[in-house]
Structure 1
Amino acid sequence: MTPRFQLTVTRSSATSRTTNGLMLCLAVLLALSPWLFGVGGSARAVALLVYVLLAVMWNALAGFAGLVSIGQTLFFGTAAYFTVRLADAGLDPYLAILASIVLGAVLGWVTSLFMLSLKEGEFAIGMWVLSSLAHLCVNLDPLIQGETGTSLISLNAYANASRTSFTLWLALAVTIAFFVLLVVLLRSRTGAAITAIRDDEAGARSIGVDVMRTKRTVFVLAAAGTAAAGALWLASNTNFQPRAYFGVHWTAYMLFMVLVGGLGRIEGAIIGAVLFFVIETWFGSYGAWYLVGLGAIAVLFALFLPKGLWGWIGPRLPGEAIPTGYIVEKKSR
């Protein structure tokens, strides 16, 4: 007897529901860090969230939209600078962080007006040039004192424990917000257009996709998310030295996290960020050797796991962990 099957189309699976549960537990654990792990643990939790933000946003730009940028430090560094400037003008530092995220989105929109017309290598190099120009302009501000830098002094109004806790909770809320925004975007018609443009821009345009508007949407989202990471990193470390925020090492970190985790998958970006966080925690004190180790790991992954960790793990799971499309399930009647 020929078996009969029923096809069902859904947005979730047992794997995605399990993933959602695990992520909820992790979010609760991070929120409780001030009581469970103290000030030091909370500060490290903020670092992890910043890495996740950077990886997920760069992956959204390069992995989903095909816009490979080596100048996202433009938004990372300017957001930290905006935070210092707004706080110096009298705005509460945490309100300054939120305002800087908005300004990062505005800067992303303005930048998109002329950068998105560039293609591939021109776009990547153009973004790096803009980041370098922003670095030079920030150095000219007397408040910053060149590469000497300054501090987010207004944070001293909060007790150390309270400051660390507030920064962690804000970082957690912002990371969740951007994660949800990205998933909702990728599940929408715009998300389908984004991947269509990545795969074949001319073909996407021929079927009526507004290429420039679609690219601008994901570009502005990635700019705002990267700006959030920069402002939160400043809140956690308090010191602002331009070369520490506009430095090319941040681009290297983003590339490492996404390529090792898996380009084009949200799960890959998150795994890459967690792996980078663990490596940095254990080996960051080794200085130059630590960077050599990161490079060696990246080369090994390029040779033996070109699709990253998630490219190896994902196909072995019964369903997608964070589905951005539809899932077709076949069930026996």
Structure 2
Amino acid sequence: MSAVTSPLPASQPQGLPLWQVERQTRASRLAGVIAIALVVLAASMPFWADAAWMREFVEIGCYFIFAAMWNLLAGYGGMVSIGQQAFFGVGGYVMLALGNFVGVNPFVAVPLAAVAAGLLAWPLSRLAFRLQGGYFAIGTWVIAEVLRLTVANISAVGGGSGTSLTALAGIARSTREAVTFWMALAAVVAAIALVYGFLRSRQGLALMALRDSEVASESQGIDVKRTKLWVYIVAAFGAGLAGALYFVGNLRISPDAAFSVNWTAFAIFMVVIGGIGTIEGPILGALIFWALNRWFSDYGAWYLIGLGTLAIFVTVFFKQGLWGYAQQRWGWSLFPTRRRLVLGTPPASPD
């Protein structure tokens, strides 16, 4: 347990309470043990589980990573974007280009594609950050549309109809599915660790202060522009990673699939349902969305109506999302980022 205990001043009478600053809770410690056990169990799935369930896990993992990055950007940073699919698509297409045309192993190309998406975010931020509020949201969507139209006019990658990932043709299907699964599992663990570590740092505190008030944050010495830039780049990196992983598993990509605004719409749905501004929220939201998509997507328009109705119900009766409500009602926190002051009484000194 990470704790800081105050020294007892020489002038303080014996018997008065000491204080401790704790950052972990009993629930978080238990969750950590369970999480390690689940990761170890999941890592063994390629040796005993059906391939269909591994593909489902990869899909859930991509949903979660993309939603977690949107939550970091909007839920913690206050930068509401509806154009994060730009980096999702870039990740997918860079992975495909490196694999099909450069000869890079597609599995090696996945992290390289994520880096490319993060690097692209730097010049794009110069455009997006000129806008504020709703204009920023619309501006990010316009950037994504420009990228979609650009890729749709590149015949080398199939133009508007897309193309297939041929670089994996020489790899056995079982090997391909197992490696894709392990990469998705590692990416999910890394995404949680990255977001959790960032939010527990001084930069994380600066980010949440920036969300509440940029003016007040700047007056306290926080470099607002630099903080926003780094969060934007990290969110783009994660979105690119999700896109590269998704299309490695899907084996085919097209501009309409990669740059669809539905990706951001689904991310918003997952974060709002699970709990915006929490690490647990996107995890819960991704599981709920996957379950609804798996069992009800065949209903077409009624499925979309059901998603909208559920989102309205949660926003009306659970304004902080399902996990946000549980956290507020029962104090559940599997990934605590706040410090708690705990008082304790020292033992009485012997006479």
Shorter-chain TM-score bucket reads over 0.9
1:94 aligns with 2:81: no
Partner SS for 2:341: strand
CA distance in 1, matches of 2:112, 2:329: 43
Which of 190, 194, 214 pairs up with 1:201? 214
The structure-2 alpha-carbon separation of the partners of 1:300 and 1:150, relative to structure 1 and needing over 3 Å to count, comes to same
Q: Give 1:313's aligned residue.
A: 326
Pairwise CA RMSD of aligned residues? Answer: 1.5
2:24 partner SS: coil
2:279 aligned partner:
266
How many aligned positions are there?
Answer: 331
- Native 8 Å contact 2:192 2:279 kept in 1: no
Give the Å deviation of 1:220.
0.7
1:171 is aligned to 2:184: yes
Partner of 1:81: 93
Identify the range of structure 1 (141-150 vs 225-234) with the bigger mean alpha-carbon deviation: 141-150
Separation in structure 2 between the aligned mates of residue 290 and residue 329 of structure 1, nearest angstrom: 47
Partner of 2:136: 123
Q: Deviations over 1:238-288 (max 9, x none)?
A: 110110111121111101000011111111121111111121122122222
Which residue does the alignment assign to 1:52? 64
Residue from 126, 148, 151 that aligns with 1:135: 148
CA shift at 1:318, angstroms?
4.8
- Contact between 1:164 and 1:236, CA under 8 Å: does it hold in 2? yes
Structure 1: tracts of 5 or more residues without a match: none
Deviations 1:103-141 (A, max 9, x none): 011011222233223211111001000000000010111
Matched, 1:192 2:205: yes
Measured against aligned partners, the alpha-carbon deviations of 1:204-255 in whole angstroms (never above 9, x if no partner) come to: 0111110000111111111000100000000111110110111121111101
The equivalent of 1:281 in structure 2 is 294
1:11 aligns with 2:23: yes
SS at match of 1:186: helix
Letter paired with 1:113: R
Partner residue in 2 for 1:106: 119
Structure 1 vs Structure 2: percent identity of aligned residues? 38
Cα distance between partner residues in 2 of 1:47 and 1:12: 31
Compute the displacement of 1:37 (Å).
Answer: 2.2
Quick one: which amino acid aligns to residue 54 of structure 2?
S
CA drift of 1:15 comes to 1.0
More helix by share: 1
Structure 1 counterpart SS, 2:78: coil
1:23 matched residue in structure 2: 35
By how many angstroms is 1:32 displaced?
Answer: 2.1
Distance of 1:221 and 1:273 partners within structure 2? 20
> Residue 175 of structure 1: CA displacement?
2.1
Q: Higher Cα Rg: structure 1 or 2? A: 2
With the length of structure 1 as denominator, give the TM-score of the two structures.
0.95
Paired residue type of 1:67: M
Distance 1:162 1:285 in 2: 30
Runs of 4+ deviating beyond 6 Å: none
Matched, 1:236 2:236: no
Mapped partners of 2:81, 2:48: distance in 1: 38
TM-score by length of 2: 0.90
1:153 — aligned with what? 166
Matches within 5 A, 1:30-49: 30-49=42-61
Residues 40-78 of structure 1, C-alpha deviations (whole Å, 9 max, x = no match): 111001011111101111100000000000000000011
Cα deviation for residue 6 of structure 1 reads 3.4
Matches of 2:247 and 2:91 in 1, distance apart? 9
